[in-house]
Structure 1
Amino acid sequence: MLTRRTVLDTALRLIDAEGVEALSMRRMGKALGCDPMRLYRVAAGKDDLLDGVVELVLSELRVPAPVDHDWEGVLRRTAHSFRTIALAHPGIVPLLVTRPLATPLAMRPLGTLRPLEALLELLVGVGFDERGALHAYRLYIGFLHGHVLNELQERVLDPDEPDDLLRLGLHRLPVKEFPRLRALATELASYDGRRELEEGLDVILAGLRRQLDRTSPGEGL
């Protein structure tokens, strides 16, 4: 039986293997061994498939309940979960970042809104007012999107090359025009996505902590 979940799982596997550009109703029909017209019974078209795949991937993201008001720990664990999902499905990352922008908030698939609802509930629960919680969410999720996009761009041209400049292909850049980039070859070659995420979270959470202290003084959160 052809179900929506079967179709979305197949679409995700196709994107993981060949990228978003490979997704089409014809390719999906071939992968599922059926007439592509049958797919329209469970998906209105390619846009519906893309929205469904984003919802499917985001369903893997769980926002844990806070223990002893440790909202910062929750945001750290959620961030690392998001990164893990993104690295497992790199072809989906551009969709995770841009697909929601193509649809008004109230018209997005419900599964894409559940992490937003859970994070807003967390932030309001520890003392942010509603506006502050929304601002904190936007800052946090914007950082996560930027981080995973940047990490996926950190590609090594020649992993077996011992010289960092050659390994990254930076030797091709004109010396006089890009001295800073060339000088950063060793740092770029030793990029550690997990460490970079933690360092960025330190900055984001420190700012949110100060904001929370200003809005709820004396509560000890």
Structure 2
Amino acid sequence: MPKTPASPARTPLSRDRVLHTAVRFADENGLGSLSMRKLAQALDVEAMSLYNHVANKDDLLDGIVDLVVAEIEVPEIGGDWKAAMRRRATSAHETLRRHPWATGLIGSRINVGPAMLRYVDATIGCLHTAGFSLQQADRAWNAMDSHIYGFTLQELNFPLVPDEYASAAEQFLPLIPAESHPHMNALARLVSSGAHNGVADFDFGLDLILDGLERVRQTRPE
């Protein structure tokens, strides 16, 4: 009798596999859809087996936040601090766009995973080594992160895509006549004509912050 083909070996369940699967699930379905039951189904295991690798839902969320943060470039300490912080900001923005659910989660939790601790410590170290006091460094990286998180959230949730801006501006014009809203009317006409694309510019805001921080760095803290 022919032998029955052996079933393929199942990949052992581990914390790393649980967390990476949870990140993929959240990317595809949104964080609101992530539950221990649905995650277990995605892994083809019983839900109770997950608790051998994550303590609870909070532990799962902390773990997936840390995986996302691990994708962000960590700034080098020493050298050109502006270039390092620019790369950090750009990397963070790109990472958060890949994981649209992560920005809100990062901002709403106290994150003490190893990737987050390394990321924050290197950021403070980069700024402090460049001449910022620790107090200035703290304010500096928080100002940058406010721009990164706020810009990303607006970009992800804005109701229009860039290709729709011109037509939307054209439709908006009757609501902002030049007699009562001259500046908005003029700007909307630039967008509707294609002379200005109206798209928010991440680097524009980043440049303003970095230039402002350079002025702060040149001051002497009390």
- Tell me if TM exceeds 0.5: yes
Matched, 1:4 2:15: yes
Q: Match of 1:91? A: 101
Q: How high is the TM-score relative to the length of structure 1?
A: 0.79
Provide, for residues 37-57 of structure 1, a one-character-per-residue CA deviation record: whole Å limited to 9, x for no partner.
Answer: 000011111111111110000
What secondary structure is seen at the aligned counterpart in 1 of 2:219? helix
On the 8 A contact 1:140/1:204 being kept in 2, the answer is yes
Structure number with larger C-alpha Rg: 2
Change (3 A) 1:26 1:72: same
On the 8 A contact 1:16/1:92 being kept in 2, the answer is no
- Counterpart amino acid of 2:218? D
State the Cα distance separating 1:78 from its structure 2 match.
0.8
Alpha-carbon distance in 2 for matches of 1:157, 1:73: 30
Q: Match of 2:210? A: 205
- Which residue of 196, 210, 219 maps to 1:214? 219
Q: How high is the TM-score relative to the length of structure 2?
A: 0.79
On the 8 A contact 2:19/2:63 being kept in 1, the answer is yes
Q: Match of 2:117? A: 113
Please list every run of at least 4 consecutive aligned residues from structure 1 whose deviation after the TM superposition is greater than 4 angstroms: 157-162, 178-185
Alpha-carbon distance in 2 for matches of 1:110, 1:57: 12
My pick for the range that moved more, 207-216 or 121-130, is 207-216
Q: Match of 1:219? A: none
- Which residue of 91, 95, 110 maps to 1:81? 91
On the 8 A contact 2:140/2:213 being kept in 1, the answer is yes
Gaps of at least 5 residues in structure 1 are 217-221
**What RMSD in Å do the two structures reach over aligned CA positions?**
2.9
Gaps of at least 5 residues in structure 2 are 1-11
- Counterpart amino acid of 2:113? P
Matched, 1:65 2:79: no
Identity in percent: 33
- Residues paired across the two proteins, number: 202
Matched, 1:46 2:57: yes
Change (3 A) 1:212 1:161: closer
Matched, 1:175 2:175: yes
State the Cα distance separating 1:110 from its structure 2 match.
2.4
State the Cα distance separating 1:129 from its structure 2 match.
1.5
Q: Match of 1:134? A: 138
State the Cα distance separating 1:161 from its structure 2 match.
8.9
State the Cα distance separating 1:158 from its structure 2 match.
9.8
